[in-house]
Amino acid sequence: GGTAHAFYLGVEGSVPAIPGMKPPLHALCVAPFGIDEGAQAQPCPNAFGLVVGESVRFRFFRSSTRRQDAVGTLLSTWDPGELSELPSLEAVLPAEGRTPGEVVTVRLQSRVTEVGTLEVEALPQGDDKPWRLTFDVRGP
């Protein structure tokens, strides 16, 4: 059983801002190939900054060929056809006591639900409530 794909979130590389140039896009594995529905993946070892209180676009990818990638694998390059982009998700992560526009350090943890969605939780440091993003991963 398990999923027929590995799933990735697009994350921007941390480079100095250059006017007119987009930062490089990396793909972070958040759910490995073959994860069972209802199972929770290991928390991602990498920490990331998320902007709260403002609209943020999350790019989402899947791969049926990269079967060896574990949670936390960060791809800076990939071959054409290795990853396919799925519909992105726009969301406003509630500031909840923080300043809108503040960057919060989080770790990501995902789980595949029984109804075929991938839930990615952004776990802030400390005991703050996590933010949850839900992607539909069923389909062709």
Query: Tens digits of per-residue pLDDT, 74-95?
Result: 999 999 899 999 988 888 888 8
Architecture (CATH level 2) of domain 6-13+22-136? Sandwich (2.60)
Q: What pLDDT is attached to residue 17?
A: 60
What pLDDT sits at residue 63? 96
pLDDT score at 90? 84
Quote the pLDDT of residue 137. Answer: 75
pLDDT of residue 2: 80
Give residue 119's pLDDT: 92
For 46-112, the DSSP string reads SEEEEE-SSEEEEEEEEESS-TTPPTT-EES---TTT-EEEEEEEEE---TTS-TT-EEEEEEEEEE
Low-confidence ranges of the chain (pLDDT < 50): none
Residue 47 pairs with which residues in a beta bridge?
Answer: 107
Arithmetic mean of pLDDT over the chain: 87
Q: Model pTM?
A: 0.85
